């Protein structure tokens, strides 16, 4: 009953015992933090102790949940309580979200204080070094801004690349050589993997491959990764790079998989092939038979309904479930869908990628929520869905890596000038 109506915490029966009472009060406040965050804060402040919630640990659990939702929802009514409570409490995740809230609201004067409360590893990460640079820039300290961006630019990720662009520098790839000897791997399972792939049993081949990786040394895993790359087993080489922890061997992590498919499909829609390849790398790690929990399929993880609609719009016969797994069909339809999103969002890749992940109507809603236009970097950080936020950053980063590794490294751009320089709001769609 408390879960359905957490404000009934005032109606707890007398005979349940103090320990159970406190547990129920804390649980009800945590539930109320989700359903009515302002009311949860009011009850916690004004009545919880009198109702019997006195155990410090249970009080902290309730307060932490109220603080979390107060932060991610940007509830101004709770701000004074929130900041007072976070002065002496709060998990690293909640403090991270509070610093993020300062970015979203562009309160550059307060951001450094919140970042200073984060663990040292988080403070040194490119993300917060980038935002400290932005705060310093907005506060008129260009020298400090460049120092922060310099520290961020040494890291191979979205904010590292974004900081490098701020400094007018090339992104740092930190690319390592495969560093294997010339001997070929000898595991008998390799023959089974080859045969299973030949007879179109990708799941069995995947299982066999992973069994070999789990029962191999690090050196053997590296040989397997190089062998998979040479065979064009792109999904298997990515998996081997993970098992070998070869984070800096970019040839294994970002092979130019199905390059001709992506180039030909992109040419039909005047699209950047590295962008659609980056989408596939993020969506499926190049496993053609990937299937998500919600039913998305194939290299570019198309929902069946989306695949059918895109095919019909193109005047083609809608594919069945098995056909969607075919790389030729999947890349053709996925690239066309990406091109349609780019057209809908006036060529803006940030918005199109957010729509590819979360749906175009959600992106429309997020743009409409901006009372004032905001810079591109702030808009990306303010994307409400963590998955979509990470997705946009990852795909744009992967695109730079693919082009730098396999294309023209002289023209590497994370955000184009029009994407970086245009304020983000619903007016972008006019």
Cα maximum dimension of the chain:
77
Yes or no: say if 67 and 38 are a contact pair by the CB < 8 Å rule.
no
CB < 8 Å & 24+ apart, contacts of 85-94: 86/117, 89/60, 89/63, 89/64, 90/64, 90/117, 91/64, 92/118, 92/119, 92/122, 93/68, 94/64, 94/67, 94/68
Helix (H) or strand (E) holding 176: none
198 burial level (CB within 10 Å; 0-12, 13-18, 19+):
exposed
Yes or no: say if 419 and 350 are a contact pair by the CB < 8 Å rule.
yes
**Which member of 22, 165, 208, 283 is catalytic?**
283
Backbone angles phi, psi at 328, to 5 degrees: -60, -50
Angstrom distances, CA of residue 200 to CA of 196, 318, 403: 6, 22, 30
In angstroms, how far is CA 234 from the centroid of its own chain?
Answer: 22
Residue written as token pair 């294997």? 180
Nearest CA to 161 among 175, 151, 172? 172
9 burial level (CB within 10 Å; 0-12, 13-18, 19+):
buried
Q: What is the DSSP string of 19-35?
A: HHHHHHHHHHHHHHHHH
Phi-psi region of 169 (alpha: psi -120 to 50; beta: other; left: phi over 0): beta
- Give dist(CA 69, CA 395) in Å, integer: 28
Which residues, other chains included, contact 392 with Cβ-Cβ below 8 Å and sequence gap of 6+?
350, 353, 354, 357, 380, 383
265 burial level (CB within 10 Å; 0-12, 13-18, 19+):
buried
In angstroms, how far is CA 399 from the centroid of its own chain?
Answer: 14
The reply to whether 390 belongs to the active site is no
Angle CA 148–152–154, to nearest 5: 130
Question: What is the gyration radius of the CA atoms in the chain, in angstroms?
Answer: 25
Catalytic residues: 283
């Amino acid at each position: 009953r408390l879960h359905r109506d957490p404000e009934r915490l005032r109606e707890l029966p007398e005979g349940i015992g103090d320990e159970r009472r406190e547990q129920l009060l804390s649980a009800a406040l945590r539930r109320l933090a989700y359903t009515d965050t302002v009311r949860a804060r009011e009850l916690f402040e004004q009545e919880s102790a009198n109702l019997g919630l006195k155990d410090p640990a249970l009080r902290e659990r309730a307060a932490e949940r109220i603080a979390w939702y107060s932060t991610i929802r940007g509830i101004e009514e709770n701000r004074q309580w929130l900041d007072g409570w976070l002065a002496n409490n709060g998990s690293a995740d909640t403090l991270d979200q509070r610093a993020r809230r300062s970015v979203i609201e562009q309160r550059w004067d307060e951001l450094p204080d919140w970042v200073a409360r984060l663990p040292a590893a988080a403070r040194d990460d490119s993300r917060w070094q980038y935002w400290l640079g932005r705060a310093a820039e907005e506060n008129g300290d260009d020298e400090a801004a460049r120092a922060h961006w310099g520290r961020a630019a040494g890291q191979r990720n979205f904010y590292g690349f974004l900081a490098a662009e701020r400094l007018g520098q090339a992104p740092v790839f930190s690319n390592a050589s495969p560093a294997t000897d010339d001997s070929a791997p000898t595991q008998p399972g390799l023959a089974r993997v080859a045969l299973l792939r030949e007879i179109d049993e990708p799941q069995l081949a995947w299982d066999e491959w992973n069994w070999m990786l789990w029962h191999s040394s690090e050196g053997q895993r590296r040989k397997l990764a190089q062998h998979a790359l040479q065979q064009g087993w792109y999904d298997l080489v990515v998996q081997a790079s993970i098992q070998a922890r070869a984070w800096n061997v970019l040839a294994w992590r970002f092979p130019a998989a199905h390059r001709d498919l992506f180039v030909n499909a992109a040419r039909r829609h005047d699209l950047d092939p590295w962008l659609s390849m980056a989408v596939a790398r993020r969506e499926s790690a190049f496993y053609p038979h990937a299937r998500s929990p919600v039913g998305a399929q194939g290299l570019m993880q198309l929902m069946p309904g989306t695949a059918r609609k895109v095919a019909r719009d193109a005047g083609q016969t809608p594919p069945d479930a098995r056909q969607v797994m075919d790389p030729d069909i999947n890349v053709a339809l996925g690239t066309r869908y990406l091109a349609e999103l780019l057209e809908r969002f006036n060529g803006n890749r940030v918005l199109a990628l957010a729509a590819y992940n979360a749906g175009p109507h959600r992106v429309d809603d997020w743009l409409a929520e901006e009372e004032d236009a905001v810079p591109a970097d702030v808009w990306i950080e303010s994307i409400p869905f963590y998955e979509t936020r990470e997705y946009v950053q990852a795909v744009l980063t992967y695109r730079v890596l693919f082009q730098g590794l396999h294309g023209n490294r002289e023209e590497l751009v994370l955000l184009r000038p029009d994407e970086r320089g245009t304020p983000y709001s619903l007016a972008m769609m006019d």
